[in-house]
């Protein structure tokens, strides 16, 4: 059939997972230049930039959450789409086996991970025919943290800080601004939004995601939408949500808007939020061999220009060294804004672990422990495990459980991203613990701070959800919720809400 097809798709997956396209790199470099030095925002962007370089150098996953693989295929009339679908699925399976994709396909009823990224609905593959002889395959890997911040509005609607959004382009603008404000740092800002005006609920979301296949620097051919995109970009960065929601100048790196006809009774605005780890690439394949003719979004003849010329976390000398197990006294001495370097034992735990701990005692002693909201990519090497990607996951999902777990088991520090809510903040204060924000998506950077995998518990939940026992050294994070009732996330949300009101759409 097409002897090179499988290898070409595998290359596409590996390259997409490990190397950001040049337009996204350029936008992130621009962000780095625009955030004043020695601010939390610039520290976050420096770690992100190092992470981008490390991922490309070592062909490691840029972020441990390699997301929902979504393929858009254009094939010639008469091409065998059934066979192509099988080949794409086999390539996804192989990329997962090689640790380039994290096993991310979970049975929605039992919670069981299929282990190979295959299952009902995963991966997503859309086919379209075209009257050309070659085959185009585009891929986007969009992670769960940013997917959870997607939003859909049925106009007219009342929006906090913005008032009524009518069925007009001003109403659409209000919806986009609200979606970005609502996402705060939970979708690993600075992000990009794909938007669809109209359609129905299903086609609206599909079209919004398809907008993310446009390059960040293109100009919408529809002048009304081009104006809307430019207007969002010129106002949204005044919200001061900033990288990771730490406050700062750069909140969004792109806004792409499409439009579909709608039913007279409906007016949906669908927003697909993608994080800074905006992984999308494409290939054009020879129609008779399946070999790659050319790449989309990147030019392999141009060398990759590193984001930074330095390596390692740049210390200011004000960092606080923490060695686990931690004490209440140490935690009460910390305050919002402190940068800490954590060493010693750390345990991972995300959704399945939190749910388990609510009903069962922990498999290890958690007194004084550091609990890391992380679903790492881990590979087995002989008898040992090695973590190849290990950034934080979105913490707010654990809000219903976290306070209880802190108090019940003596956890002293929770590391994650995007912050947590009022219940956790109260528990941190009562119990004497802190929330540490690591830099979302910096999977390669943090993997290097993990010196050893000591053990693993609850492996029945699958690799990302298991509780990994890690030894870490100088793992940097920022105190964003302290033991005195202070929360940077709450402050930024309120302040950016005031900015939203001041924009006056
Ligand atoms: S960068 Fe953040 S939002 Fe994006 S995939 Fe990674 S963890 Fe999820």
pLDDT in tens, 252-280: 999 999 999 999 999 999 999 999 999 99
- How far is 223 from 422, CA to CA, in rounded Å? 44
Q: Quote the mean pLDDT of the chain.
A: 96
Residue nearest to atom 5 of ligand 1 (CA): 143
- Confidence (pLDDT) at 317: 83
Region 432-457: mean pLDDT is: 96
C-beta atoms surrounding 124 within 10 Å: 13
Q: What angle do CA 86, 272, 494 make, to 5 degrees?
A: 145
> Ligand 1 centroid vs 279 CA: distance in angstroms?
10
Q: What angle do CA 255, 259, 263 make, to 5 degrees?
A: 140
Question: b vs e for 390-406, b when ≥16 Cβ sit within 10 Å of the residue's Cβ?
Answer: bbbbbbbbbeebbbebb
Region 183-200: mean pLDDT is: 97
Residue nearest to atom 7 of ligand 1 (CA): 441
Residues facing residue 321 across a β-bridge: 341
Q: Computed from CA positions of residues 314, 315, 316, 321, in that sequence, does the dihedral angle turn out positive or negative?
A: positive
Of 56-65, 176-185, 256-265, where does mean pLDDT reach its minimum? Answer: 56-65
Question: b vs e for 132-146, b when ≥16 Cβ sit within 10 Å of the residue's Cβ?
Answer: eebbbbbbbbbbbbb
Residues 6+ apart with CB under 8 A from 116: 92, 93, 96, 97, 103, 105
Looking from the CA of residue 144, the nearest atom of ligand 1 is 8
> Ligand 1 centroid vs 113 CA: distance in angstroms?
19
The single residue listed with the structure tokens 């999977």 is: 443
**Beta carbons of 31 and 45 less than 8 angstroms apart:** yes
Cβ(464) – ligand 1 distance below 6 Å: no
Cβ(176) – ligand 1 distance below 6 Å: no
The single residue listed with the structure tokens 């207007």 is: 231
Cβ(274) – ligand 1 distance below 6 Å: no
What tens digit of pLDDT does each residue of 61-117 get? 999 999 999 999 999 999 999 999 999 999 999 999 999 999 999 999 999 999 999
More confident position, 468 or 309: 468
Tokens of 162: 């913005």
| Mutation choice for ligand 1 from 47, 142, 145, CB with most ligand atoms inside 8 A | 145
Looking from the CA of residue 391, the nearest atom of ligand 1 is 7
- How far is 314 from 424, CA to CA, in rounded Å? 30
> Ligand 1 centroid vs 369 CA: distance in angstroms?
25
- How far is 274 from 404, CA to CA, in rounded Å? 32
Cβ(199) – ligand 1 distance below 6 Å: no
Looking from the CA of residue 186, the nearest atom of ligand 1 is 3
Bridge-based pairing state of the strands 413-416 and 467-481 = unpaired
- How far is 228 from 461, CA to CA, in rounded Å? 45
User: Does 313 have pLDDT greater than 80?
Assistant: no
Cβ(191) – ligand 1 distance below 6 Å: no
User: Does 436 have pLDDT greater than 70?
Assistant: yes
The single residue listed with the structure tokens 């299952």 is: 119
- How far is 40 from 50, CA to CA, in rounded Å? 15
Residues 6+ apart with CB under 8 A from 21: 215, 278, 279, 280, 281, 297, 298
pTM equals 0.93
Region 165-181: mean pLDDT is: 98
């Amino acid at each position: 059939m097409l002897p090179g097809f499988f290898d070409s798709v595998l290359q596409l997956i590996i390259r997409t997972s490990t190397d950001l396209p040049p337009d996204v790199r350029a936008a992130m470099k621009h962000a780095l230049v625009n955030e004043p030095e020695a601010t939390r925002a610039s520290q976050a962007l420096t770690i992100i930039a190092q992470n981008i370089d490390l991922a490309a150098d070592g062909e490691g996953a840029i972020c441990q959450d390699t997301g929902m693989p979504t393929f858009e295929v254009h094939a010639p009339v008469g091409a065998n789409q059934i066979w192509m679908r099988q080949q794409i699925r086999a390539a996804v399976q192989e990329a997962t086996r090689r640790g380039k994709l994290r096993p991310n396909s979970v049975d929605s009823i039992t919670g069981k991970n299929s282990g190979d990224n295959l299952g009902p609905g995963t991966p997503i593959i859309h086919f379209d025919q075209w009257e050309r002889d070659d085959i185009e395959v585009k891929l986007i890997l969009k992670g769960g943290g940013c997917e959870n911040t997607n939003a859909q509005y049925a106009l007219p609607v009342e929006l906090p800080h913005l008032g009524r959004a009518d069925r007009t382009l001003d109403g659409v603008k209000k919806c986009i601004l609200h979606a970005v404000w609502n996402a705060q740092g939970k979708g690993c800002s600075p992000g990009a939004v794909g938007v669809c005006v109209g359609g129905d609920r299903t086609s609206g979301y599909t079209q919004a995601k398809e907008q993310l296949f446009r390059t960040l620097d293109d100009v919408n051919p529809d002048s009304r939408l081009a104006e809307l995109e430019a207007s969002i970009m010129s106002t949204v960065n005044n919200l001061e949500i900033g990288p990771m929601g730490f406050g700062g100048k750069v909140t969004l790196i792109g806004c792409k808007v499409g439009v579909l006809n709608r039913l007279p009774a409906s007016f949906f605005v669908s927003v697909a939020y993608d994080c800074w780890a905006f992984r999308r690439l494409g290939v054009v394949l020879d129609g008779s061999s399946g070999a790659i003719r050319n790449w989309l979004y990147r030019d392999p003849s141009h060398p990759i220009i590193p984001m930074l010329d330095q390596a390692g976390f740049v210390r200011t000398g004000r960092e606080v060294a923490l060695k686990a197990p931690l004490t209440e006294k140490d935690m009460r001495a910390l305050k919002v804004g402190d940068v800490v370097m954590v060493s010693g034992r750390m345990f991972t735990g995300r959704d399945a672990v939190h749910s388990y701990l609510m009903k069962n005692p922990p498999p290890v002693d958690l007194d004084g422990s550091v609990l890391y909201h992380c679903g790492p990519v881990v590979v087995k090497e002989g008898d040992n495990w090695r973590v190849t990607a290990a950034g934080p996951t979105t913490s707010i999902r654990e809000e219903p459980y976290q306070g209880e777990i802190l108090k019940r088991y003596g956890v002293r520090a929770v590391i994650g991203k995007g912050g947590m809510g009022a219940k956790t903040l109260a528990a941190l204060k009562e119990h004497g613990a802190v929330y540490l924000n690591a830099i979302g998506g910096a999977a390669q950077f943090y993997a290097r701070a993990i010196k050893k995998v000591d053990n693993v518990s609850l492996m029945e939940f699958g690799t990302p959800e298991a509780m990994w026992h890690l030894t870490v050294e100088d793992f940097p994070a920022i105190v964003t919720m302290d033991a005195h009732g202070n929360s940077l996330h709450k402050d930024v949300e309120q302040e950016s809400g005031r900015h939203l009101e001041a924009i006056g759409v």
